[in-house]
Amino acid sequence: MNTFLMPMVTVSSIVFVIGLIGLVINRKNLIVLLMCIELMLLAANSNFVAYARVNHHLSGEVMVFFVLAIAAAESAIGLSILVALFRHYKSIDARCLSQLKG
Amino acid sequence: MLELREIIFWIFSFGLICSALLVVTTRRPVWSVLALVSAFVCAAALWVMQGAEFLGLALIFIYVGAVMTLFLFVVMMLNQESLTAERLRRYALPFALGLAGFLLFLLWHHAWPVSVAASLPESRFTGTNTQALGRMLYGSYVFEFELAAFILLVGMISAIGLTFRGKRAGNKAVPVEAQLNVSSKDRLSVATFKDAS
């Protein structure tokens, strides 16, 4: 039975790397940084799904479920931090956040 | 000769990679959010093809329905129209490409043929995918399930706490404390009338 393991792993690693490159090249806009993190989580979840299929074991899918729950909480908190920052600095440029720099 | 399944798989993979690229490269945050929605839909189709029907639908319902709507609201609220083209630092792109090459190298040379199924809690593919997932969630993983629920509660409380700024002036909501401190004397006065006759 064709399980698409290697194509799936390849596609998800490509998506993970795209998210990583996005983290490096979009260093200014905090919203895009959050979206790149979501992309990387999506790629990791795709790997979990593919390996759960190959191993005939549902633990990988349960792990995806938990990752989805935690990622939802993470994006809610991240977006609310973003709104609070925007109220304070009138901008979401990541370079404004240099108060802790010595 | 390609099978139909393979054709569908490659169409959705192509869509996933293209929309991921669009998320990263576009300068407009709204387009970026919409491209991320498209990436999630393509990934959900891939997951359903891998037999994870419940998770694919949950991805669409939770992510496209709730989380991406939240992203869209925030993007529209902050009103960041197209950003000015940012100047990259000189080492950013080589660093990113080098990291990408290193990760892809690791992935290609360590295609782990690992079977960890023996060391994990028991599970069998009985019934539909949703039934099996539900049995595992409420069986072997019930403590982790409650922990995830607690973390979601903490996330909700912190999101409200971070963005709530108290009542605005002119708010017409009912003041609960004034309502609770009221006594019967304030509301009811007994009028006495002199006998007119």
What is the CATH classification number for the domain harbouring A19? 1.10.287.3510
- At residue B86 the predicted structure's pLDDT band, cuts being 50, 70 and 90, is low
Contact B75/A at CB under 8 A:
yes
Query: In this complex, do B63 and A9 lie within 8 Å of one another by their Cβ atoms?
Result: no
Higher per-residue confidence, B25 vs A102? B25
Quick one: pLDDT at residue B112?
56
Quick one: pLDDT at residue B121?
58
Residue A102 lies in a domain: no
- How many domains in chain A? 1
- At residue B55 the predicted structure's pLDDT band, cuts being 50, 70 and 90, is very high
Quick one: pLDDT at residue A1?
47
Quick one: pLDDT at residue B135?
87
CB neighbour class for B81 (10 Å; exposed up to 12, middle 13-18, buried from 19): exposed
Residue A56 lies in a domain: yes
**B144-157 average pLDDT score:** 94
Smallest Cβ distance to A18: which of B21, B92, B154? B21
**B56-82 average pLDDT score:** 85
Quick one: pLDDT at residue B144?
92
Host domain of residue A75: 5-95
Q: CA B31 to CA B194: how far, in whole Å?
A: 78
- Whether B99 has a pLDDT exceeding 90, the answer reads no
Q: CA B185 to CA B187: how far, in whole Å?
A: 6
- CA-wise closest residue to A62 among B138, B50, B41: B138
Distance between A43 CA and the closest CA of chain B, angstroms:
9
User: How many CB pairs (< 8 A) connect A and B?
Assistant: 212
Domain-wise residue ranges, chain B = 1-80
Distance between B174 CA and the closest CA of chain A, angstroms:
26
Quick one: pLDDT at residue B110?
65
- Whether B42 has a pLDDT exceeding 90, the answer reads yes
Radius of gyration of the CA atoms of chain A, in A: 17
Contact B4/A at CB under 8 A:
no
Residue A67 lies in a domain: yes
Mutate to test the interface with A, among B16, B41, B81, B91 (most CBs of A within 10 A): B16
- Whether B38 has a pLDDT exceeding 90, the answer reads yes
Residue A101 lies in a domain: no
Contact B168/A at CB under 8 A:
no
Residue B136: which H helix or E strand, with range? helix B129-138
Residue A100 lies in a domain: no
- Which range has highest mean pLDDT (A85-94, B90-99, B184-193)? B184-193
Q: CA B183 to CA B173: how far, in whole Å?
A: 20
B158 to chain A: which residues are within 8 Å by CB? Answer: 77, 80
Instruction: Identify the CATH assignment for B1-80 out of 3.40.50.2300, 3.90.1300.10, 1.20.120.1200, 2.40.50.100.
Output: 1.20.120.1200
Q: CA B187 to CA B53: how far, in whole Å?
A: 60
- Whether B196 has a pLDDT exceeding 80, the answer reads no
Query: In this complex, do B99 and A20 lie within 8 Å of one another by their Cβ atoms?
Result: yes
Q: Which chain A residue has the Cα nearest residue B88?
A: A25
Q: What is the mean pLDDT of chain B?
A: 83
Q: pTM score > 0.95 for this model?
A: no
Query: In this complex, do A83 and B162 lie within 8 Å of one another by their Cβ atoms?
Result: yes
State ipTM: 0.91
10-residue stretch averages of pLDDT, chain A, 102 residues long? 74 89 81 91 92 83 92 92 85 74 66
Quick one: pLDDT at residue B128?
82
Distance between A52 CA and the closest CA of chain B, angstroms:
9
